[in-house]
């Protein structure tokens, strides 16, 4: 049932979430409203308690090497299945491989999950905290959409809404006036991401036969079948590589009489492949036969003496590719 795969979707979403808040700064001004300093607020991944413990354990918080405030930290705290965005479990889609753009890959529709995050803002001054919060809130109304490259192999990018759920504030201030004060604003978010399963090479089954029944009469609960039309797709070019003969003379785009070196392997009412042009043999006399040119919308072109004449048989029908436009052989019964 299970096989190894790893798209790094959760990791990519965590990184994308953190990148939303890595360019926040605060300004300090003097009494004349002149800017005294501009501080870029550092951002790190980790629980808030880790940084608080470091602050409490530092022997001298007044040294330049202290853990400075303000600072921000964020943490991935939970993962919940989102049934409201559920899609059909058996439905899949195909995409070209991002590596070479030629191979077709298949993947089932992703499973929707909500990733929960907490962003903590730790400040000594309330004004610093308010500056940071005010730079964040206008972008979440209540959601902000970020684009994440979820699966590299198929170049699958998705817009991931990040929803701001709530905000809480805590004033961690205990002890005398020499004890360091820490203001903590906690913003909780939900990122609505998608988890993809394994990506495999795509193979499509080609319909080998289709049958249609026609009925007669007005609307009725028991219609009468009058005719059934059955059709099978067939190849319109050679797949097996079988060369049966060569052209004896040049032929132009208007010639319908074709002379070959040996027509013993060519039968009437069969199809041939002349360098990509499909022709239909209507009659034969020795090594000369009459053809209907450009069958099944293939391009009529001139051919030189010595050009290969290939057969189109049931063996080629079994090898038709997805890109083949098909010819059809039909019968009414």
SS3 track for 35-101: EEEEEECCEEECCHHHHHHHHHHCCCCCCCCCCCCCEEEEEEEEEEECHHHCCCCCCEEEEECCCCC
Domain boundaries, the chain: 9-201, 233-332
Distance of alpha carbon 146 from alpha carbon 22, whole angstroms: 14
- List pLDDT tens digits, range 21-43: 988 999 988 888 888 889 899 99
pTM summary value: 0.56
Q: What is the pLDDT of residue 256?
A: 92
Q: What is the pLDDT of residue 61?
A: 46
Mean per-residue pLDDT for 123-132?
90
Task: Quickly state the pLDDT bin for 4 (edges 50, 70, 90).
Answer: confident
Nearest to 133 by CA among 121, 125, 143: 121
Min mean pLDDT across 116-125, 197-206, 209-218, 263-272 is at 209-218
Question: Is pLDDT at 65 greater than 50 in this prediction?
Answer: no
Q: What are the phi and psi torsion angles at 12 (to 5°)?
A: -65, -40
Radius of gyration of the chain from its Cα atoms, rounded to whole angstroms: 36
Task: Quickly state the pLDDT bin for 328 (edges 50, 70, 90).
Answer: low
More confident residue, 62 or 295: 295
Q: What is the pLDDT of residue 91?
A: 76
Mean per-residue pLDDT for 104-128?
89
Distance of alpha carbon 33 from alpha carbon 287, whole angstroms: 101
- List pLDDT tens digits, range 67-92: 578 889 999 999 999 999 888 777 77
Cα three-residue angle 311-277-246, rounded to 5 degrees: 50
Q: Sign of dihedral through CA atoms 107, 6, 47, 40? A: negative
Q: Which fold has domain 9-201?
A: STM4215-like (3.30.2000)
Q: Tokens representing 320? A: 């038709």
Distance of alpha carbon 194 from alpha carbon 257, whole angstroms: 62
Nearest to 203 by CA among 312, 110, 92, 314: 92
Task: Quickly state the pLDDT bin for 132 (edges 50, 70, 90).
Answer: very high
Distance of alpha carbon 332 from alpha carbon 229, whole angstroms: 5
Q: Tokens representing 272? A: 């041939």
Q: What is the pLDDT of residue 297?
A: 85
Distance of alpha carbon 173 from alpha carbon 180, whole angstroms: 7
Task: Quickly state the pLDDT bin for 52 (edges 50, 70, 90).
Answer: low
- List pLDDT tens digits, range 142-194: 899 999 999 888 888 899 999 999 999 988 665 555 555 678 999 999 999 99
From residue 299, how far is each of 29, 154, 247, 295, 296 by CA, in Å? 78, 34, 18, 8, 9
More confident residue, 16 or 201: 16
Question: Is pLDDT at 59 greater than 50 in this prediction?
Answer: no
Cα three-residue angle 303-304-307, rounded to 5 degrees: 85
């Amino acid at each position: 049932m299970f096989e190894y795969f790893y798209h790094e979707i959760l990791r990519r979403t965590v990184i994308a979430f953190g990148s939303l808040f890595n360019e926040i700064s605060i300004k300090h001004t003097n009494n004349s409203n002149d800017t005294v300093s501009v501080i870029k607020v550092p951002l790190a991944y980790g629980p808030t308690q880790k940084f608080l413990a470091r602050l409490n354990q530092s022997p001298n918080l007044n040294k330049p090497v202290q853990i400075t405030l303000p600072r921000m930290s964020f943490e991935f705290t939970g993962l919940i299945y989102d049934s409201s965005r559920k899609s059909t479990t058996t439905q899949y889609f195909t995409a070209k491989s991002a590596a070479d753009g030629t191979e077709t890959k298949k993947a089932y529709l992703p499973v929707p999950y909500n990733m929960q995050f907490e962003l903590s803002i730790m400040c000594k001054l309330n004004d610093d905290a308010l500056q940071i919060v005010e730079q964040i809130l206008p972008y979440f109304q209540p959601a902000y959409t970020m684009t994440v490259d979820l699966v590299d192999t198929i170049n699958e990018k998705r817009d991931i809404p990040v929803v701001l759920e709530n905000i809480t504030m805590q004033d961690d201030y205990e002890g005398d006036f020499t004890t360091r004060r820490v203001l903590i604003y906690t913003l909780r978010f939900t990122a609505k991401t998608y988890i993809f399963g394994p990506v495999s090479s795509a193979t499509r089954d080609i319909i080998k036969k289709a049958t249609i029944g026609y009925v007669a009469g007005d609307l009725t609960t028991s219609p009468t079948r009058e005719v059934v039309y059955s059709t099978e797709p067939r190849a319109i070019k050679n797949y097996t590589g079988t060369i049966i003969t060569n052209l004896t003379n040049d032929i132009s785009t208007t010639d319908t009489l074709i002379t070959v070196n040996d027509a013993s392997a060519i039968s009437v009412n069969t199809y041939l492949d002349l360098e990509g042009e499909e022709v239909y043999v209507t009659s034969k006399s020795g090594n000369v036969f009459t053809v209907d040119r450009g069958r099944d919308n293939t391009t009529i072109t001139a051919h030189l003496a010595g050009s290969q004449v290939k057969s189109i048989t049931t063996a080629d029908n079994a090898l038709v590719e997805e890109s083949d436009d098909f010819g059809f052989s039909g019968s009414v019964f």
